[in-house]
Amino acid sequence: MSDEILFQKIVCNDAQRLDSFLARFLGEVLPGASRSGIATAIKAGLVSVNKKAVLKPAHKLKINDEVLVKKSRISSENSRISNENSRISNKLFEKIKIIYEDDDILVISKPSGLVVHEASSLKGESTLVDFLKQSNRQLATLGGEFRAGIVHRLDRYTSGVMVVAKSDFASAELSSQLQQKTASRIYIALCDLPLKQNCVVERAIGRCENNRLKKAVYPLGKNGAKYAKSAFCNIFLDEVQNSQNSPKKNTPNIIAAKLFTGRTHQIRVHLSSINRHILGDVLYGFKGSCDIIRVFLHGYILELKHPRTGQMMSFCAPLEDDFAALIGVDTRTLNEKLTKNFVLSCFEPNNQWLCLS
């Protein structure tokens, strides 16, 4: 039993999942043990509770339960998963595109699938912060080690433009712009249905009562709901396709979204509240093809004042190949037609916009 670790009568203060328990208590004897590696090991029969094999990571432990873990096998499984994550991350790192860089800021286009910074639910996965550190760039430290340089973020499966602060001065200035809403962000999404009318949605967003992974629209203050404002407009296919190409049946609808606030999942929540869903966004109600493996939301335009010079700067991250493939045009044609100026013009003041609150 030299390769086994026995935890005897660990007292839990409340009902606790087996994988959570092991992730917490194995840290001291298995540095680097990941939640995903532990879950895989449980499913493989490498963990027993009260001398009985348990195959469900979500198994609830009771007070005084004895958990037996085959340490060497879990170490091997963690090593395998770590190597696999490393290979995936290296591919994602190669897809990161540098749009602009100077002594204060770095502007990039983040690929879909890349996590911005470490989180408790994503331990062991490489992140954008890891890429930045590996590049030996100077980074702002105001956000701490795990968020070095990060002043805003994109969801894991959202691609597009991001700004990174390379100095604490830049970090403070950029954070101030984002908080004061003087920085402008516009996204492109592929949706299941077109908008009935271009609209502005002003609906507070808070924690979802039924799903801890989601946010939802609530009255201001309920479930921590905070004021949120977004604008949405249709971009019709004949404006981005070659004139000789007729739109294909079931071609996805292109919608541009402008953020006036920056709540978590804001675009996804507001679209869901008007019964529109981004392709691939199963969390917020998309029920289409299972072949769609990402959320088709892309940070397209970012406008801000340079933190040191005060000069207004505008950055654009061209749409990726998978967007063009779903729309039915080649990537070059799509990005030539869907220009930054064209998208910006969609949000010029217009009294015909529908206001929803």
Catalytic residue annotation: 155
Whether 260 and 201 have beta carbons less than 8 Å apart is answered as: no
What's the token pair of residue 303? 């406008």
Nearest to 231 by CA among 195, 265, 207: 195
In a 13 Å sphere around the CA of 141, the CA atoms on its Cβ side amount to 2
Radius of gyration, alpha carbons of the chain: 23
Percent of the chain that is helix, strand, coil (3-state, to 5): 30, 25, 45
Q: Is 149 helix (H, G, I), strand (E, B) or coil?
A: coil
Question: What are the phi and psi torsion angles at 170 (to 5°)?
Answer: -65, -40
Alpha-carbon distances, residue 44 vs 41, 57, 74, 75, 166 (angstroms)? 5, 10, 10, 13, 44
What's the token pair of residue 187? 């996204």
Q: How far apart are the first and last CA of the chain?
A: 64
Query: Could you give the CA distance from residue 254 to residue 269 in angstroms, rounded to a whole number?
Result: 17
Query: Could you give the CA distance from residue 188 to residue 231 in angstroms, rounded to a whole number?
Result: 12
Across the chain, the runs of DSSP E, i.e. the strands, are: 4-7, 16-17, 47-49, 52-53, 60-61, 67-70, 97-101, 105-110, 159-165, 184-191, 199-202, 205-207, 215-217, 229-235, 253-259, 297-305, 312-316, 354-356
